[in-house]
Amino acid sequence: MNGLAGTRRLARPVRLVLAPTLGADIDGAWWPHTGSTAGELPQLIGVLHRPLGEIVDICINWSATDGAPDLNSILQSAPPKAAAEHRRLRLMKVVGCTAEAKLLVVPHMTTPALGNLVMRCASGRPLVGAELDSRWCEAAESVVRDASAQSALWTAALT
């Protein structure tokens, strides 16, 4: 068991979104508040306990020596470049007793506007209004498209 007796309020809530239905190449996104992914992992596991059951395995596609991709730099090119051209995106597969989720890990230094759009796209939530016509939207969709492609290749190699 994960040792979870109940829920507790966090000073900074876990920034996690999941698609309504799991099983796609990307099922959602996690956006840590700091560069210490390991430090925020216990809170992520606590939040994922309900939708996935007891967490039994976590796989990541990066090492401690890999630098995080800079999603903000995608916006500095016209048109926005594919996220994969900047650096490999960080992916996490979290396996629970009842379900599993493949998450895009949004780098903590991503601007709030872009980070929020990436989170919405990764969870399959629709973009509305002015978001649809922005370079930010195009960049967010590019990130999630690239993450889906990378996830398909990565998870196939895991099996």
The answer to whether residues 93 and 100 touch, using CB atoms and an 8 Å cutoff, is yes
Q: In which band, very low, low, confident or very high, does the pLDDT at 1 lie, cut at 50, 70 and 90?
A: very low
Strands 55-60 and 16-18: unpaired
Encode pLDDT of 111-150 as tens digits.
Answer: 999 999 999 999 998 877 766 668 888 889 999 999 999 9
Q: Nearest-5° angle of CA 16, CA 21, CA 24?
A: 85
What pLDDT was estimated at residue 20?
Answer: 96
Structure tokens at 124: 């399959």
Query: What is the four-CA torsion angle of 30, 140, 71, 146, rounded to 10 degrees?
Result: 80
What is the token pair recorded at 40? Answer: 């925020």
pLDDT in tens, 20-62: 999 999 999 999 999 999 999 999 999 999 999 999 999 999 9
Q: Which residues contact 110 (CB under 8 A, 6 or more apart)?
A: 31, 71, 72, 118
- 35 to each of 40, 67, 105, how far by Cα in Å? 9, 10, 11
Q: How far apart are CA 119 and CA 55, in angstroms?
A: 22
Pair of tokens at residue 140? 């967010």
The DSSP-derived string for 81-100 is: PPGGGTSPPEEEEEEESS-E
pLDDT digits (tens, 9 = 90+) for 75-91: 776 555 555 455 689 99
- Judged against a pLDDT cut of 70, whether residue 69 lies above it is answered with yes
For 13-22, what is each residue's pLDDT tens digit? 999 999 999 9
Extract the tokens encoding 47.
């939040």
Please give the pLDDT value at position 158. Answer: 84
Phi/psi of residue 101, each to 5°? -140, 135
DSSP secondary structure code for residue 30 in this structure: E
